[in-house]
Amino acid sequence: MDFCHPCRRHLNGALACPGCGTPVETLRDRQAAAPGGSAPLGADAGDGYAGGDGGLDDEDP
């Protein structure tokens, strides 16, 4: 997920930051150039929820 560090916002698929208007390509270039680079590809976003019930207790809308 793309993140605008100056505005501290998650972009959630937006093509530019809604706070400052910086294009997502610029933000990605900055992240790749930063020490440590970007997050590894293929990381499982669900790792933090190990042992969960898979949403079985979610309420019906």
According to the model, what pLDDT value does residue 16 have? 85
Domain layout of the chain by residue ranges? 1-35
Q: How confident is the model at residue 19 (pLDDT cuts 50, 70, 90)?
A: confident
What is the rounded average pLDDT for all residues in the chain? 70
Q: pTM for the full model?
A: 0.44
Q: Please name every residue paired with 3 in a beta bridge, in sequence order, or none if there are none.
A: 10
Q: Which amino acid is at 32?
A: A
Question: Torsion over CA of 36, 12, 19 and 32, rounded to 10 degrees?
Answer: 20
Sign of the Cα torsion 6, 16, 45, 29 reads negative
According to the model, what pLDDT value does residue 20 have? 86
